[in-house]
Amino acid sequence: MADRTRTMTAPLGLTLTVVPGATPGDSTLVVLHGSDGRETDLLPFAARVDPAGACIALRGAVRTELGHAFFDRRPDRTFDDDAVSARIAPLVDAIELGQQTVGRARHTTVLGFSNGAVMAAALLERRPELFTGGVLLRPQAPFRSSPRRSELALPVLVIDGRLDARRSTEDGARTAERLRRAGAGVEHVTLGVGHGITGEDERAVRDWLRNRQPAAPGGAPRAS
């Protein structure tokens, strides 16, 4: 993979790494790393769950002690709507640059982990036209305000960890319900794992990507 990757900076300043797909125009994963991470963290995971697909990996613009994040948090680890909303435009700018590089695909899925899952959920709400689906690993709801009803019904997979010490037991459920109210068809899965990504997550995401179908109007879950 290393000789196929290309790292660049979008006009609004965000760094991204892109990997072309084996089948141009078929599928693209837009991946967002967790707190203290960088854009290359999820490239191996993306290659395993969608081996033939292209990948656009984004680096969070907020510097942290050990790496990067996608938005600012308060000292108590909470965040507000404005902190998340302010980061959307540079991400969209970077995604569009990545698409110019790898080509636009029939299926474009945003995949986020932890801090990146919060940001991915925000992108699905505010810019759903960019994607055909989403995968959120250990998310929290991105906004406290009421969700905006989307004209596009998108399939979304939300995966919680039952043993996750960094999330409450309701975080994934709230995120899933919020996206349903915004128009998405959501499949919510809870695994017996902690906060980190595991082989169980990998299998669940790989199977979902292989089998997913368009969400039904009104947010009904896809058929399995």
77: alpha, beta or left, given left = phi > 0 and alpha = psi -120 to 50?
left
Q: Name the pTM for this structure.
A: 0.90
Asked if residue 116 is part of any domain, the answer here is yes
Q: Where are the alpha helices (DSSP H) in 50-162?
A: 81-85, 88-102, 115-126
Asked if residue 104 is part of any domain, the answer here is yes
- In tens digits, what is the pLDDT along the chain, a chain of 224 residues? 446 899 999 999 999 999 999 988 899 999 999 999 999 999 999 999 999 999 999 999 999 999 999 998 776 667 788 889 999 999 999 999 999 999 999 999 999 999 999 999 999 999 999 999 999 999 999 998 777 665 558 999 999 999 999 998 899 999 999 999 888 999 999 999 999 999 999 999 999 999 874 443 334 333 32
Asked if residue 217 is part of any domain, the answer here is no
What domain range is 83 assigned to? Answer: 2-212
Asked if residue 106 is part of any domain, the answer here is yes
Count of domains in the chain?
A: 1
- The residue among 7, 65, 54, 52 whose CA lies nearest residue 31 is 54
